[in-house]
Structure 1
């Protein structure tokens, strides 16, 4: 437990965490990604795939980072999350 002494009072980090975090209902896929023996790298990538936050070429094109969204794997369509993982 971490504590911070400010003046005469002690503030616990757990108290700050509980008052600043946003409580939301758990999503239905939560246990698929975050289970007891998960590998952190794999869980983060899976989480980003589900939320469509991966840096794919179609997203990079939308932000003006790249000039082409051609998929290198299928050589025909756009490089999207669905193309990379589901098609």
Structure 2
């Protein structure tokens, strides 16, 4: 069974931190901050491009991290972020 990204969500582009440089955010992205590469429809403008961060390319939408709504996805991914802070 496949799980597809929820339209107008973008939780995976907001909740986690990205420690390395990304286009438009040379110092990375703090957790909870909207990525500058997320458009007004909550879609990644780097999707499929080589400059997309590896962390983003490896993320796979699934019920355990995306939940039943955008709010749940933000909370679940945020919880994972806090649990893995170094």
Q: TM-score w.r.t. structure 2 length?
A: 0.29
Larger Rg computed on CA atoms: 1
Higher strand share: 1
Larger relative CO (CA 8 A, sep 6+): 1 or 2? Answer: 2
Higher helix share: 1
Q: TM-score w.r.t. structure 1 length?
A: 0.29
